[in-house]
Chains A and B, each alone.
Chain A
Amino acid sequence: MIEAGRALPRVILYEGPGAEPLDREWRVELLRELLERGFAVRRVVGREISLAAFDEATSPLVIGRLVVPPASATTGTVLRFRDIAGKSLSEVVELVNSAFADTTSQSSKRWKPWFPVIDPARCTHCMQCLSFCLFGVYGVTADGKLQVQNESNCKTDCPACSRVCPEVAIMFPKYKAGPINGEPINSEDVRRETVKVDISALLGGDVYALLRDRSARAKSRFSKERDDDRALKERQRCLEQLKSAVQGLDIPPEVLASLPSPEQIQQKALEAQQRARQALNQAFPKNGVS
């Protein structure tokens, strides 16, 4: 779960007055190590640290080869200073880890930030994505606008909702290819989306009905299957079939395999559609979507 509104732990790499410069290669190594461990790092060079710049709740840690502690260290600020002169890279990393042991940096590292990002210039708030998503990633603002509200509910590496967006307005910045990764949209992308119109219609109704039926048939076969290896192969084959059935959605097999029961899917889809309808009615009361 993400702690919204809370700043990431920040390290200040201080090389201003009263500190000796760090060795160039060592500095780069340290930067990489800290970034890979989930810390934000600001380099301050050639000047004193300005207290006004650090009014955040998460007290930053200032590290450097401190010959003379910077003047601001004596003014009762929330800044914490650590002298790293003579310390090895691993010792400095350990020092930083310890300084933030009580913060969320460790837990946040485990979550790959994978979630839909809306292109506000393209989104028409049609709510197709909200209707489609079974995991409650999308929500609606008080004024009836679509919003990504539960980022960590999103299934890692699954870009399926972006495929159902008729406006090419949903991006996953870590996706491999455009325009889902945020690449500029060309006329071919727009044409493709126009042809798509509604992926549910293309699949003969409800994409989840398709998934549901296939899943039910597969379950029926599995229940009769006694040989584990054969059952596994059969499941893999079914997943391949499912994948080809929803070709283009690019849903990872592990997401398909973890779909809820048919009844739960039906219920969640219904709830999502109701939320979408309510949002549309709120945004366009005269049209009365029902």
Chain B
Amino acid sequence: MQELPQILYCHCAYAQVVPREVKHRVLERLSAAGVEFEAVPDLCELSARRDPRLADYARQNGLRIAACFPRAVQGLFAAAGCPLSEKEATIVNLRTLQADEAADALLGPTGSTGNSNKEET
């Protein structure tokens, strides 16, 4: 198993659907927290490219993904041929959460983010 960070952040760089201030604040909090994370320009792009990295992340225990609606994120991983584990992945929705709520969900202790694969509201 590769040594992967447990936080995967999608910057949704090619669209305006995630508020800019939310993206910036979450990135700021992640950066300041002294934790390892991987930031990708756009999860949709990785899915369309069938980026092999997605398969690695799909196998990662305790993965937290900062992106958009959980149903969409699960669909993107499935489309890339590597469905997310129903039990292991937590998806933090940057389209609906306040920036600090999202950052807390990503950086909080295990179990603090609620049920896996459930909407973070």
| A interface residues (Cβ-Cβ under 8 A, vs B) | 2-8, 24, 27-28, 31-32, 35-46, 50, 52-53, 55-56, 108, 111-115, 117-120, 148, 151-152, 171, 173-176, 178, 181-185
Contact = CB atoms under 8 A, between A and B. Distances in A.
B26 to A, nearest CB: 11
Interface of B: 2-5, 11-15, 17, 24, 27-28, 30-32, 34-53, 68-76, 78-79, 83, 95, 119
B58 to A, nearest CB: 14
A152 B11 contact: no
Given A56-B53, A113-B14, A35 B41 contact: yes
Contacts of B53: 7-8, 40, 56
B109 to A, nearest CB: 18
B31 A24 contact: yes
B13 A176 contact: no
Contacts of A120: 75, 78, 83
B32 A24 contact: yes
Contact of B5 (A6, A37, A42, A182): A42
Given A6-B49, A8-B51, A24-B32, A38 B75 contact: no
B52 A184 contact: no
A31 B40 CA distance: 10
Interface centre among A39, A52, A111, A174 (most CB of B within 10 A): A174
A169 to B, nearest CB: 9
Contact of B42 (A3, A5, A7, A113): A113
A45 B27 contact: no
A28 B86 CA distance: 32
B50 A42 contact: no
Contact of A181 (B17, B36, B41): B17
A36 B3 contact: no
Nearest to B69: A182
A2 B49 contact: yes
Contacts of A118: 75, 78-79
B71 A171 contact: yes
Nearest to A183: B69
Given A8-B40, A40-B41, A173-B17, 18 more contacts: A4-B49, A5-B51, A8-B41, A24-B32, A28-B31, A35-B11, A36-B11, A38-B41, A42-B38, A43-B30, A50-B3, A53-B3, A113-B44, A113-B45, A113-B48, A115-B44, A115-B48, A174-B15
Closest 5 CB pairs of A and B: A182-B72, A182-B69, A113-B44, A173-B72, A117-B75
Given A28-B27, A117-B76, A151 B37 contact: no
